Amino acid sequence: MNILSKITGSHSKEDEDFLFAMKKILGFKPRNIDLYKKAFTHSSLKKTHSKNGFPLNFERLEFLGDSILGAVISNYLFKKIPKGDEGYLTQMRSKIVSRKHLNELGKDFGLIKFVKSTISIQNFGDNIHGNLFEALIGAIHLDKGYIYTERFLYKNVIEPYVDIERLEGKITSYKSVLIEWCQKNKNKIKYNIYEDTGNDPLKHFSVKLSINDELISKGRATSKKKAEEIASKRAYYKFQQQINS
């Protein structure tokens, strides 16, 4: 924002449209539009601050937003579940702030349409949605403070999505469940990972999951971790009855 805009409060048509969209999402009018514009600036643009030359993208805001989100959720769980011990509260928090859930929130808000990048939207992985949501939280915190951020998260995350009873039965890592079950029953589990890009523009990995040297399931994704989780989920449902017995 230039000096004249700061004095007169005027904005470009693009900024006015952006402000209107942010107000609709946030439920309040942002004070510092630059913070929110930064929350959607991807590192591929290689933008830097004019004064100090530091990188200007959403990554630092994403870091801050992740921390603030964790603090708000921790505070909520601490008050909501007075009998919960540290391990239980940590597990519940990880379910609420899981990468999958954050990606879903970012998609629900349609944040991807605001991102400024040299990379085509189609070439972003799912995690961009959660990253933008965390960056937005960081921007809210710097713009309006902790109380406003907490209110936003209660209204848009905790009240509509957090159901303690449902979350207790939610699996956040099928791989962990499967490994634990195999160890308990002295079964040998192995993940065979290899690159499987094919004709895709992005690098892909495939996984073959074997138990006791028998091929059980396969998974394919843009990261090794995702491919392992896909294969683990498929294996889990094959052995669900034995695992839960």
- The Cα 100–Cα 111 span in angstroms is 15
| Type of residue numbered 152 | F
- Which of the residues 62, 134, 150, 228 is marked catalytic? 134
| Type of residue numbered 170 | K
> Dihedrals φ, ψ of 95, to 5°?
-70, -40
For residue 159, the surrounding DSSP H or E stretch is helix 159-161
Name the CA dihedral angle for 117, 118, 122, 124, rounded to a multiple of 10 degrees.
-60
Reduce the secondary structure of 39-77 to three states and give it as a string. CCECHHHCCECCCCCCECCCHHHHHHHHHHHHHHHHHHH
Residue with tokens 């597990």: 91
Please confirm, yes or no, whether 134 is among the known catalytic residues: yes
- Which of the residues 15, 17, 34, 66 is marked catalytic? 66
Please confirm, yes or no, whether 66 is among the known catalytic residues: yes
What positions carry a catalytic annotation? 66, 134
